[in-house]
Structure 1
């Protein structure tokens, strides 16, 4: 199923990382670059110094489908990693 006319939004989220947690949305952005720029500020505002090891995600939503996920992995060599979202459609 192709979604030709669905709007894309980028959610900046603190994903579930323990069995007693739920996903927390920190922001909604119109572009991937805006969401990535906001990540540092959002982490500073929402995480304590003891939670700095937690990953943060930017999820691309097209309509009701999550098509792409970028994970921010903190640490000495912090990096972004892409993976297809759970609703990604592969071209046949």
Structure 2
């Protein structure tokens, strides 16, 4: 009930003030309301960007970790397969 009374009183006072404002005051209030709405929109956009960036970062991290693990396994398998190959000494130079 208190909420309903507050809404009615607020609407009545707002209507009275709006009716008695000059054009300059109305445009100033309109700009302030537009700025407030823009701030809310920008805040929502920023929150969405941060949330999506976090999701992308998590997915990329998982993907890169998987690729590195697979590459490490392939290199280890290749080295294990070449254990029987002859060792070539590359420390000496033929001048």
**What TM-score does the superposition give when structure 2 sets the normalisation length?**
0.17
- The answer to which structure, 1 or 2, has the higher relative contact order (CA under 8 A, 6+ apart) is 1
Which of the pair has more CA radius of gyration?
A: 2
Structure with the higher fraction of residues in helix conformation:
2
